[in-house]
Amino acid sequence: MSISLRTLARASVLAIGALTLAACKDSGTVPLNVTPDQLQAIGESVATELEGGVAQLTAQDVMNNNGGAPSFSRVPRSSATMFRGLSLSRTSGATDIAQCGVASQNPPVDTDGDLIPDNWSLTFSLPACHFADQTNAYDVTGVLHITDIQPGTPGLALSFGLDNFKLAFSGANGSGYVSRDGTGSVSASSSGLSQTEDWTEVAVLTGVTSASVDINWAATFAAATGQSITAGHSLPDGTYTPNGTVSFRQGNRVASFTVTTMDPLQYSAACAYGVTQGTSMTPFSAGRVRVAVTSQQGSGYADVTYSSCNMATVTLVSQ
């Protein structure tokens, strides 16, 4: 079978971005130097993480995208050069890694009928989750779990997590893996949804010093006027407002970034549907988020701006 879609991992793009820092020839200790080009790559990585984060607000979305686990999807443009030697397939279809996962219950137990499983997991293991194409082999292992915080009361609150979820790959031109561990949760109130996420990612590639990243995320989602959030249905139009920190580590060297919403991201149900159909690049029609860094190279930030369902534009600003 052909493993597909543009390059390695949607959810591991931040760890891959960490490798762009690890690959620099800085021999210092702490913190990592961050050049403008690297800040550009990190801005693009954060943009991709934002697009994944909004797709983890409902149980159906968490289950459909495996909780943001590493998958065969796009990586930021500035990181693509790191994979030129891996000869990854770029066919048009996407491989659904959920096909090889084994569910703890089928169908999931849902006591209150709110379409959030009481306590459900999907386990990926070998040999079922071994894939290969003409040039590379891929192994998927780990566990996705999702839990109804209030299993006896219908609602939108949920928690989910990934336990040692790893996508390993090998071929004549290179080998390595990307992984993600951590948890996420969503709570609901009269004003909308609140989200928290706490992830650790690791990326290891042949010939490149390994690197990791810690992601601490908090966001809110408010439905547009006249629309409502309904269990079991896709998200309506609304505003997504994420804020948090991202910390990269290579050995004892660290680079820390803050992520701040400047103009709330305008989530478009039509754009989101277009993403699934391949006619849109992102679910956002407008909005701006700032990624700021302070390092030995000085301080600066990148503005990540969305418009008209298109890929985010990353604009660098130095201070």
* pLDDT, tens only, 229-283: 988 788 999 999 999 998 887 767 777 889 999 999 999 999 999 988 889 889 9
How many domains, in total, are found in the chain? 1
Is pLDDT above 50 for 2?
Answer: no
Instruction: Give CA separation, 37 vs 33, 46, 82, 268, 274, in Å.
Output: 11, 14, 14, 30, 30
- For residue 236, being part of any structural domain is answered with yes
* Position 16 confidence tier, pLDDT thresholds 50, 70, 90: low
pLDDT digits (tens, 9 = 90+) for 92-117: 233 456 678 899 999 999 999 999 99
- For residue 142, being part of any structural domain is answered with no
- For residue 281, being part of any structural domain is answered with yes
- For residue 44, being part of any structural domain is answered with yes
Are 55 and 61 contacting, i.e. CB atoms less than 8 angstroms apart?
yes
- For residue 153, being part of any structural domain is answered with no
Question: Where in the sequence is the domain holding 232, given as residue range(s)?
Answer: 13-94+185-318
In this structure, what DSSP letter does residue 224 have? P
Provide the residue count of the chain: 319
Tell me the angle at which helices 36-53 and 13-22 cross, rounded to the nearest 10 degrees.
170
Six-digit token string for 65: 């995208």
Residue type at 283?
P
- For residue 172, being part of any structural domain is answered with no
Element (H, E) at 269: helix 269-277
- pTM of the predicted protein model: 0.81
- For residue 298, being part of any structural domain is answered with yes
- For residue 198, being part of any structural domain is answered with yes
pLDDT digits (tens, 9 = 90+) for 163-208: 999 988 888 777 888 888 999 999 998 789 999 999 998 888 777 7
Is pLDDT above 50 for 319?
Answer: yes
Residue type at 251?
G
- Gyration radius of the chain over CA positions: 19
* Position 118 confidence tier, pLDDT thresholds 50, 70, 90: very high
Are 50 and 76 contacting, i.e. CB atoms less than 8 angstroms apart?
no
Instruction: Give CA separation, 82 vs 71, 74, 205, 291, in Å.
Output: 17, 13, 9, 22
